[in-house]
Amino acid sequence: MAEHSFHIGTPAAGAAALALLAVLLPASAGAAAGGPASRHPGPGDVTGSGTAAASRFVPGPCPKTPEPIEALATARCGVLEVPENRARPGGRTIRLAVAVIPATSAKPAQDPVVFMSGGPGGETFDDIPFLVDSGLNRDRDLIIMAQRGNLYDEPNLACPELDRFNATSVGLPSYAPRTRELMLDAVKQCRDRLTADGTDLTAYNSTENAADFADLRTALGIKRWNVYGHSYGSDLAMTYLRLHPQGIRAVALDSFTPPQSVSLPFAWAGAQEGLERLYEACAAEPRCKSRYPNLRRTLNEQVRKLEVRPLTLNVRPPQGGDPVKVVLDGGALLNVLVAKAIPFADVPAAIEELGRGRPERFARARAAGSVQVEGQTAHGLTNSVVCSEWVPGHSPSDVLAAGRRAFPGWPDPVLAQAPQLAFQEQVCRVWDVPDRTAMQRVAPVSSVPTLFFNGTFDMKTGASWAQKTARTLPRSTTVQVPGIGHWVVPQSPCAQKVLASFLTRPTAPDTGCVAGLKWEPFTITPK
């Protein structure tokens, strides 16, 4: 499964087609009647009226994905045309890829589910197989829209320069000056290329993203729908609920990322919480406790040791291919764990083996990052959201202080960089988009029924943040699934049942299956 968010990753009928066509008719009918939506501007067109072009849905073929996605064979696809920057009348129009996947039920409910993917910048269509396998389109149509800048959109804010840097960075010390220099050079190359093409990077933010989804509901003629957001998509869903509450029946939030709190210091809190919950689970399992009694101490020692004397190895990536150079230092250890690059069941064994001079599990996990799919992630959207909404308002000393609170005694060079968000202060000086925190860091207040899913081992978005946010959402339910990391629903049949129940009865979901859940037993290796 693709991992998303904080890279914060990643991870997809004749009668049904007629029913789907009826849903989409309002947009095409408006065009046929010559109304406001009848104009067909291209992605670079500029309107001459002095107002932003009207948003409209234009039916068309489904995207050609690298690997066939079965659900797209019966989907109704097209693009949503929206203004790139709603605050700048007369600007260009962009196109966002849309797919409506029909419900498998013979009598589907009238209120569909719209999905908001993680990242920001994660490839949305790649998530469709996981959503379908989780039953999202069992009783309702499932609507997928690639957030602005994503793959299959026009423009696509991919940064192959950053993909190439990420592939080579596994062989570099995590936070060395040379590593920073190479990363910033890749960021600058991408920014220069995108702006030269006329892209307004200030327009790729959660406010515009939310407005796109509001326009999509109207363009498709949908009276009410349900929202399911994962990771950054949960941040976006809360922004959408706050700014465009009309037509929202219920909201489900998976691996919740609170818009009022997400920041570089927040990343340290999530890493600490998820790792502590894993330690506690091992201590509660007699075999794990007996075999690995000193996990916290061993990892702390190895972070300190390897930050002073990193290991350099040649390792074959898990995906196959030739061995690659890998550098294991203190920062790499934590980033591997936060990224869930080692299965949670194997983490105690990996830490214990590392302490005995056997770094292979960590090294292979680090080597996995050398395999990048160039152009798949919209790093342009990532940087515009992170630099306008997450980074401002906190100094480097705030990040370091948060790191010290999370992991006392770790080396400052490790703690000065938020997990999976290295060098962001410098990146954002290069990216140069305005501070939007005043309008974005707002706690949601709503009576719309809301369901929170979080995994107890999630080191990207700690499970406790859902409970804090639920205080301003009086009709909310919080669910914690033991032993699960980022993106809960595709990994948990129980969570899938709870979500289905919530969509049927948003104010009274059946959470009974959660009480009996346990984490997967930890791997016990011979001494």
- Position 109 in a domain: yes
Domain containing 174: what range? 158-198+281-441
Tell whether the model's pLDDT for residue 349 goes beyond 60.
Answer: yes
- The pLDDT score that the predictor gives to residue 89 is 85
365 neighbors 343 (Cβ within 8 angstroms): no
Same domain as 527, residue 509: yes
* DSSP 8-state assignment for residue 201: G
Give yes or no for a contact between 207 and 436, defined as CB atoms under 8 angstroms apart. yes
For residues 103 and 28, membership in a common domain is answered with yes
420 & 509 share domain:
no
Confidence tier at 9 by pLDDT (50, 70, 90): very low
- Percent of the chain with pLDDT strictly greater than 90: 89
Query: Which residues of 153-247 form beta strands (DSSP E)?
Result: 225-230
Of 441, 466, 481, the domain-final residue = 441
Same domain, 287 and 372: yes
User: Within this chain, do residues 149 and 239 fall inside the same structural domain, yes or no?
Assistant: yes
pLDDT of residue 53: 61
pLDDT in tens, 43-70: 334 333 334 568 999 999 999 999 999 9
Res 36 pLDDT > 60: no
Mean predicted lDDT score pLDDT of the chain: 91
Same domain membership, residue 118 and residue 64: yes
Residue 36: which residues within 8 A CB-CB, separation 6 or more?
30, 54
pLDDT of residue 35: 30
Residues 136 and 170 in one domain: no
523: pLDDT strictly greater than 50: yes
Please write the tens of the pLDDT for every residue from 271-290: 999 999 999 999 999 999 99
ω into residue 359 within 30 of 0, thus cis? no
First to last CA, the chain: 32
Please check the confidence at residue 517 and state whether its pLDDT lies above 80: yes
Q: With respect to residue 421, please indicate whether it lies within any of the assigned structural domains.
A: yes
Between the alpha carbon of residue 215 and those of residues 57, 140, 212, the distances in Å are: 9, 20, 5
Please answer whether residues 444 and 472 qualify as being in contact, where contact means their C-beta atoms are separated by less than 8 angstroms.
yes
Q: Per-residue pLDDT averaged across 432-444, rounded?
A: 96
Please give the residue that has the higher pLDDT: either 212 or 30: 212
Q: Summarize the chain as % helix, strand, coil (round to 5).
A: 45, 15, 40
Residue 266 lies in a domain: no
Pair 362, 464 in one domain: no
At 467, which CATH number? 3.40.50.1820
Domain boundary among 441, 471, 494: 441
Question: Are 188 and 224 in a shared domain?
Answer: no
Contacts of 156 (CB under 8 A, 6+ apart): 149, 150, 375, 378
Q: Specify if 270 maps to a domain.
A: no
Of 441, 474, 491, at which residue does a domain stop?
A: 441
pLDDT at 297 over 90: yes
Q: For the purposes of burial, counting CB atoms within 10 Å of the CB of 15, is it exposed (0-12), middle (13-18) or buried (19 or more)?
A: exposed
For residue 457, being part of any structural domain is answered with yes
274 belongs to a structural domain: no
Per-residue pLDDT, 52: 53
242 located within any domain: yes
Residues 413 and 494 in one domain: no
Q: Is residue 354 part of a domain?
A: yes
| Model pLDDT, residue 46 | 35
Q: What is the pLDDT of residue 344?
A: 98
pLDDT of residue 418: 98
- 240 and 131 co-located in one domain: yes
Note the pLDDT tens digit of each residue in 309-346: 999 999 999 999 999 999 999 999 999 999 999 999 99
| pLDDT greater than 90 at residue 95 | yes
Band of pLDDT at residue 112, cut at 50, 70 and 90: very high
> Both 30 and 101 in a single domain?
yes
- 519 touches 482 (CB < 8 A): yes
> From CA 85, how far away is CA 384, in angstroms rounded?
13
Q: How many domains is the chain partitioned into structurally?
A: 2
Residue-level pLDDT at 17: 29
